[in-house]
Amino acid sequence: MRLFVALALPAAIKAQLALLAGGIPGARWVPPENYHLTLRFIGEVESWRAEEVDEALAAIRAPGFGLCLRGVGTFEKGGRINALWVGVEKTDGLSFLQAKVETALQRIGLEPERRRFAPHVTLARTDKAAPEKLVGFVQAHNLFRLPPVAVEHFTLYSSRLGKDAAVYVPEVEYELA
């Protein structure tokens, strides 16, 4: 199983984000049903390990919090822009939950996450898009902002690579206090 831990987004937020999609030739837009905020990518695991992951996540105690999406930006790899995203305001509640998830997964023997946590919602894969189009998109949408949304749970997802896009399946939801 290929797993990751994320915050699911309400349908109204997904609909707002979907309005941003389009207008960049070569961009592969993420289907709205796949919008999420990754707390921790786990990767391929055996079924016994998936059960350990579930038990570790179920033991997490953290309060709910507000999530605020704002601004757009890009990620680069090797000098090429490879992703377009909507930013997420880093709050104490979000940072606390992400740290709890990371600690719980390390306790059961998973390798520590090497990348710094940069909360975002990926809108598109952009390795085939013209850089000037992406820069223009970011400049045109840099004031994008949505009202805060209440986060009351986090989710363990499985991911299966599909023909056009990955298929994300929510496996277990964990309530926040």
> Could you give the residue numbers annotated as active site?
36, 120
Beta strands 153-160 and 149-151: pairing type?
Answer: unpaired
Residue 10 neighbours by CB under 8 Å, 6+ apart? 149
| Whether the Cβ atoms of residue 154 and residue 174 lie closer than 8 Å to each other | yes
Closest of 7, 117, 135 to residue 68, by C-alpha: 7
CA distance 72 to 86: 4
Closest of 118, 112, 34, 103 to residue 73, by C-alpha: 118
